[in-house]
C-alpha cells in the first residue's frame, strides 16, 4: 500500500517520528506537503469537511482511512511495517512508551514556548530560561532514564528486546534532537544513557535510515521545529 503522509514541509517536528518509521521500513509513501501544490492539498483537508477531521498535522491517509496523532499513526502503521511486536500486550506496551515520548516531546517544545504558542520565543525568553533549566536538570533525565530502564529490563539490544520497533527510531530522534538543541546538556545527560546511545548509534547505521539521513528527504533541524538551538538555553 502507498501511504500519503501530511505534515509541515519545512520542519522535522512531530512528523519526523512517522517519517523515520516509513523510511526505516522502506515504505512507499508521498510526503505530500513537500510536493508541488502539496501544501494546498494539506490545508484543503484541514479546512474541509472530513467526517473524522485531524486536529492538526501530522496525519496519514491509507486508502479510505485518515489517521492523526503521531502515536496513533505509529500504532496503526507498526504491524504493517514490521516495526511492532506480534502480540497485543507487546503492542500496547510499545504504544505506552510512544505516548510517553509524546509527553516528552511536548515538554521539549515548551522549552522555547513555555507560555503557549501565541508568543514569539523572543517575547518569553526569561520564562524559557527558567523552564529549560528545570527541563535539563530534572525532566529530560527523568524521561530518558525511564526509557533506559525499559531498555535494560527488556534484555536489549532494542527497546522491546530482540527486535527493532518504531520505538527505537523514536529513541534515535530524541537523542539526535537533544544533541542539536542542547549540546552541553545532552552531553551530561547522556552519561547515564549508555543503552539508549547504543540504540541511537545502531539505528543510524541501518541501511534505510542511513540512506534517509544523507538524503534531502531528511529536513535539517532548524529553529521552527520542536528541537531548537538557542545557545542561551543550554547549560
Binding residues for a second copy, rule: CB under 8 A, are 49-55, 65, 67-69, 71-72, 75-76, 89, 92-93, 95-96, 99-100, 102-103, 106-107, 110, 114-119, 124, 127, 130-131, 134-135, 138-139, 143, 146, 149-150, 153-154
Cβ proximity of 158 and 171 under 8 Å? no
| Closer residue to a second copy (CB): 34 or 110 | 110
Q: Which of 106, 116, 187 is CA-nearest to residue 139?
A: 106
The minimum distance between CB 165 and a second copy, in angstroms, equals 13
Distance CA 28, CA 45 (A): 21
Q: How far is the CB of 133 from a second copy (least distance, A)?
A: 9
Burial class, 57, CB count within 10 angstroms (exposed 0-12 / middle 13-18 / buried 19+): buried
Question: In angstroms, what is the minimal distance from the CB of 186 to a second copy?
Answer: 19
- Shortest distance, CB of residue 37 to a second copy, whole angstroms? 26
- Which CB, 104 or 221, lies closer to a second copy? 104
Rg (CA), the chain: 18
Least distance from C-beta 73 to a second copy, angstroms? Answer: 9
Q: How far is the CB of 94 from a second copy (least distance, A)?
A: 10
Cell of 135: 527541563
Q: Are 170 and 83 in contact (CB under 8 A)?
A: no
- Whichever of 73 and 219 has its CB closer to a second copy, that residue is 73
* C-beta closer to a second copy: residue 95 or 200: 95
| Burial (0-12, 13-18, 19+ Cβ within 10 Å), 138 | exposed
In terms of CB distance, is 130 or 194 closer to a second copy? Answer: 130
Alpha carbon distance 183, 234 (integer Å): 7
- Please tell me the distance from the alpha carbon of residue 227 to that of residue 149, in angstroms, as a whole number: 24
Question: 226 and 108 in contact (C-beta within 8 Å)?
Answer: yes
Q: Which is nearer to a second copy, 107 or 234 (CB)?
A: 107
Amino acid at each position: 500500500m502507498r501511504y500519503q503522509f501530511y505534515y509541515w514541509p519545512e520542519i522535522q517536528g512531530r512528523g519526523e517520528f512517522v517519517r523515520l518509521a516509513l523510511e526505516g521500513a522502506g515504505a512507499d509513501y508521498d510526503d505530500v506537503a513537500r510536493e508541488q501544490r502539496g501544501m494546498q492539498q494539506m490545508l484543503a483537508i484541514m479546512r474541509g469537511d472530513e467526517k473524522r477531521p485531524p486536529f492538526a498535522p501530522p496525519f496519514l491517509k491509507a486508502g479510505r482511512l485518515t489517521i492523526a496523532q503521531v502515536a496513533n499513526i505509529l500504532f496503526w502503521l507498526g504491524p504493517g511495517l514490521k516495526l511492532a511486536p506480534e502480540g497485543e500486550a507487546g503492542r500496547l506496551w510499545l504504544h505506552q512508551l510512544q505516548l510517553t515520548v509524546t509527553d516528552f516531546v511536548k515538554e521539549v517544545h515548551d522549552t522555547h514556548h513555555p507560555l503557549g504558542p501565541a508568543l514569539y520565543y523572543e517575547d518569553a525568553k526569561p520564562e524559557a530560561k527558567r523552564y529549560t533549566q528545570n527541563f535539563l536538570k530534572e525532566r529530560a533525565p527523568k524521561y530518558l532514564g525511564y526509557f533506559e530502564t525499559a531498555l535494560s529490563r527488556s534484555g536489549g539490544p532494542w527497546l522491546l528486546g530482540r527486535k527493532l520497533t518504531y520505538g527505537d527510531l523514536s529513541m534515535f530522534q530524541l537523542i539526535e534532537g537533544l544533541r542539536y538543541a542542547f549540546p552541553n546538556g545532552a552531553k551530561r545527560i547522556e552519561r547515564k544513557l549508555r543503552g539508549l546511545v547504543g540504540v541511537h548509534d545502531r539505528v543510524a547505521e541501518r541501511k534505510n535510515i542511513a540512506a534517509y539521513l544523507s538524503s534531502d528527504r531528511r529536513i535539517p533541524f532548524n529553529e521552527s521545529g520542536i528541537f531548537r538551538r538557542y545557545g542561551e538555553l543550554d547549560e
